[in-house]
Structure 1
């Protein structure tokens, strides 16, 4: 009997690592939730990654668009999901960070309700005006705004969106006044800018670059910390003397709070391998996303700093979605 007991104990001991490994890997299709409609920049990047991540994990991945309320409906659905690694969120700073800090009652707490798995990459923005604008550079845009306080307007792809807050940061840093005109998405905002209905905007490089190359828009500057590869002649706002005016967006993958560290590690390792391939870097780069593939702990530290920054901007600009 003692020998049988020792034999069973040995078998169980050998089986535990295998069971742990199996539990750390997805055992059913993964739902990668996106808080915006199909066809947008966030959705496109999510689908690129899902295509390559599925074979890496050995499971099918369904990109699940749950749009509404500036992305918060999709985010809330993931925050409430079972933390087993089968429901993930492909999110951005707009719905996960800026939306909550501009509300008196936040729909969720980014660092309490989610586990950051991987930062996919950085999204750069460009300050652009219609080609017919009289402003040839940032100095002239500021001069025009100061000569006509409150008369100029700028577009964004929604109240509390990343480019709304970047616009407010720009107004605060330059001491000018302008009217914010929010739209339901980047496409509508860009249509209005091209028509000359608004005077300027901060939009993603992926959206404005084709219009700049077509001669329909003029790039004045970027709030990124360095010049953009696709627009090497366009200065940063830092170069122009606005040292505190640095802002970028980001994309990342999150799990619901409570997801086991083993599952997070498995997903993070697979994502890292997929994102860092030359093909993925090239395809995301074409969409204006500079790959970072920052691991969870590093990503989390960045998110805390971003929360502090955008809370301050929202407070100083008196931006509230309530």
Structure 2
């Protein structure tokens, strides 16, 4: 009888005790989501959308922390070296995780060795744009001007080794033209320079370019994406205009440091999947020029392996090195 009463008492106490929000008690404190670029750019904006909804799913605050510099290397390196406990994540892009490593002999981290891919958020289209007041009105105009004055035209990127830096170099290589690279610490600064007329052109994300196109401040010439952008269906691809070797788009994803416990990954992955697949989130990402994909860790890893091979090959062919 005493045993029965004892068991009933334990059952009542267990029912009354507050249950952890998720299995294993994770997360029980604030999660930092590092963005390796300054506030105000397309990556930062998408990260904040995801962080806001992820916090709701996890029942814990998710705070975006901008750690810019060196083309995204500083922020990415800080996550690679962080304790692998699930409380430091990277909202990463191909710029800092892919392009920098394949164009440097002394990269401070390895994408597949030092990071645990949790989920791909989406793909990002780029737009080749010039100021609206520019005499350059078409892609042939740009190529002709660059060839007529080798190295005199200049273009902005959001950092040495950034995706748009490499895309611009690929385009110039394919066109047989030269222009001077002017790197900035982020998309916002690069776009400000273009709008001020301090540089002649840039490749930036559709999310950043679209508002300026609508305001009549920029002119779009083409997209390097392998297909036309849903947000700019009348804008031709570089492939359509005769530059078949130039086909590139960016991507965004969430990563943890390598060695993060499997149960933590199993908590984060479905939460992120639910956030990314939500119709309202897909609409909000689409408005920023991000086509949501919601690929899981295994699918994302396979894509990253293929992307690494592609960009290594491209860097060799274009003889691009940032060392």
- Shared fold, TM over 0.5: yes
The alignment status of 1:270 with 2:264, answered yes or no, reads no
Corresponding residue for residue 13 of structure 2: none
Equivalences, count: 304
State the distance in 1 between where 2:318 and 2:184 align: 19
Q: Is the 8 A contact 1:81 1:256 kept in 2?
A: yes
Corresponding residue for residue 68 of structure 1: 69
Q: Is the 8 A contact 1:116 1:252 kept in 2?
A: yes
The alignment status of 1:229 with 2:230, answered yes or no, reads yes
The equivalences for 1:1-322 within 5 A come to: 22-23=23-24, 25-322=26-323
State the distance in 2 between where 1:135 and 1:98 align: 29
State the distance in 1 between where 2:298 and 2:271 align: 16
State the distance in 2 between where 1:65 and 1:216 align: 28
State the distance in 2 between where 1:268 and 1:72 align: 25
State the distance in 2 between where 1:318 and 1:110 align: 21
State the distance in 1 between where 2:39 and 2:131 align: 27
Q: Is the 8 A contact 2:224 2:238 kept in 1?
A: yes
Distance 1:65 1:148, change over 3 A: closer
Structure 2, gaps ≥5 residues long: 1-18
State the distance in 2 between where 1:153 and 1:312 align: 26
The secondary structure found in structure 2 opposite 1:117 is strand
The secondary structure found in structure 2 opposite 1:202 is strand
Displacement of 1:24: 7.9
Displacement of 1:25: 3.9
TM-score using structure 2 length: 0.88
State the distance in 1 between where 2:196 and 2:56 align: 44
TM-score using structure 1 length: 0.88
Q: Is the 8 A contact 1:24 1:262 kept in 2?
A: no
Q: Is the 8 A contact 1:192 1:198 kept in 2?
A: yes
Corresponding residue for residue 8 of structure 1: none
Structure 1, gaps ≥5 residues long: 1-17
Question: How large is the RMSD of aligned CA atoms in angstroms?
Answer: 2.0
Displacement of 1:276: 0.8
The CA deviation string for residues 85-115 of structure 1, in whole angstroms up to 9 with x for no partner, is: 2221111111111122222211100000001
